[in-house]
Amino acid sequence: MSSSKAKSGLVTPAIKKKVVDLRRKVHMYPELQFKEFKTQKLILAELKKLGVKAKKIAGTGVVATIPGAKDSKDGKALMLRADMDALPVTEEIKSPYMSRHEGRMHACGHDAHVAILICVAQLLKEHPVDGPVKLVFQPAEEGGVGAQGMIDDGVLENPSVSAAFALHVWAGIPTGKMGIVLGPAMAAVDEFDLIIKGIAGHAAYPQGSIDPIYISAQVINSLQSIVSRNVDPMQTAVVSVASIHGGMNYNVIPPEVKLQGTCRTFTDENRRTVKKRLFSIVKGTAKALGGSVEIDYRHMIPATVNDKNASAYIWDASVDVLGKRNVYEADAMMGGEDMGLYLRRVPGCFAFLGVQNKKIGAAFPHHHPKFAIDEDGLPDGVEIMYRTAKRYFESINK
Ligand SMILES: [Zn+2]
Ligand SMILES: [Zn+2]
């Protein structure tokens, strides 16, 4: 079943085949964050074949600017981004192109993003749009905040970028459909480490010690009051304690307990509130119960906020390719994406391309060992990305 309903599609059968072949090639050799050497090499080789000048950036990243048929009115470039990294997951679905790297797998679909963007480069060469398009292949999206290294290495400059777009293939959306969130799409991600300190001792004589396990229990309970009591009920936030370690015996009160967790928010105000309340609750509870605490709180990535005007380009491009009834406004998600770092600096949109097809087993969630995609969705992604660039310049050059 081909999902492509493009009225006058530019994606030829040859490109349809190419996007699938490339995706399978990348899928076979998944590489973890900051180690995307083979993937980088493949991207550079494929771009060279197309006559596209590309260079390495931020270690294992690649950036290439394809000039337009003419310069854009503002002299700036449009950025299209694909992430490149895989996950420490062992693939469970057998296929001729299954992972050859034991314990590593493209379980989030970034292999598809790489393949799509290379094929977009081909379309841009064959059918230039009215302004320069910067293709950005970014390492380390999966928790490595690879976008920061790209920005530090100047990916948004020379030529400077006026808007940025990216697709994520999505296992929850059927092939042939596109989900676009208008506004905040993915949450800001913060991480914390807490070391709750007490005084070790004999568990039969607690009066002689300060029990960090008891303090931790109170801390964990109280942290859940932040979302229920401090955040506006009409807004969204999450505080999760996801790791707890302390003690090793029936009759010993340990000296300390280590907790780890994450906070997710969508607005800067809520992000500040959650952090402030976490410090206050943790410090106050530890102190009240006679202990102390060390807190390491890290802002990892900001919320990924889609610009409403910019989203219209990818929305309309998706309608061109998939038809009006197959493009819909999707709900925001509490997961994080370092695309948010670019979208804090330039307007743009991060959209979800359907690749779910239960008939062929492409229905498992992202990061699952049985994660699979319906490759019929890939040509749609190529055409949508290309048309987004085309529509963008047609509009801003007016
Ligand atoms: Zn992922
Ligand atoms: Zn992903």
Shared-domain flag, residues 72 and 157: yes
Domain that holds residue 30: 13-186+304-396
Q: Which residues have a beta carbon within 5 Å of ligand 1, which is an ion?
A: 108
- Average pLDDT for 118-138: 98
Shared-domain flag, residues 44 and 89: yes
Tokens encoding 377: 């969705």
Shared-domain flag, residues 179 and 272: no
pLDDT in tens, 71-124: 999 999 999 999 999 999 999 999 999 999 999 999 999 999 999 999 999 999
Q: Which ligand is nearest to the CA of 367?
A: 1
**CA atoms of 90 and 127, how far apart (whole Å):** 40
CATH number (domain holding residue 23)? 3.40.630.10
Shared-domain flag, residues 106 and 140: yes
Answer yes or no: are the C-beta atoms of 67 and 135 closer than 8 Å: no
**Which residues lie across from 147 on neighbouring strands?**
none
pLDDT of residue 2: 46
Shared-domain flag, residues 219 and 292: yes
**CA atoms of 291 and 283, how far apart (whole Å):** 9
Ranges of beta strands (E only) in 183-234 are 184-186, 188-197, 201-202
Domain boundary residue, one of 301, 330, 354: 301
| Ligand 1 centre distance from Cα of residue 315 (Å) | 23
Shared-domain flag, residues 285 and 313: no
pLDDT of residue 8: 56
| Ligand 2 centre distance from Cα of residue 225 (Å) | 31
For the chain, what is the domain count? 2
Does 4 score more than 60 pLDDT? no
Does 284 score more than 60 pLDDT? yes
Shared-domain flag, residues 242 and 383: no
**Which residues lie across from 64 on neighbouring strands?**
54, 135
| Ligand 2 centre distance from Cα of residue 327 (Å) | 21
Give the amino acid at 26: V
Domain boundary residue, one of 276, 301, 326: 301
| Ligand 2 centre distance from Cα of residue 291 (Å) | 40
Shared-domain flag, residues 202 and 327: no
| Ligand 1 centre distance from Cα of residue 181 (Å) | 18
Residue 367 counted as domain residue: yes
Shared-domain flag, residues 214 and 288: yes
Tell me whether strands 161-174 and 77-83 are parallel, antiparallel or unpaired: parallel
Q: Record the pTM.
A: 0.93
For 4, 102, 317, 320, the CA distances from 89, given in Å and listed in that order, are: 31, 9, 34, 36
- Average pLDDT for 225-235: 97
If one counts every other C-beta atom within 10 angstroms of the C-beta of residue 62, the result is: 28
Shared-domain flag, residues 44 and 155: yes
Does 7 score more than 80 pLDDT? no
Shared-domain flag, residues 215 and 290: yes
Tell me whether strands 61-66 and 133-138 are parallel, antiparallel or unpaired: antiparallel
Give the amino acid at 283: K
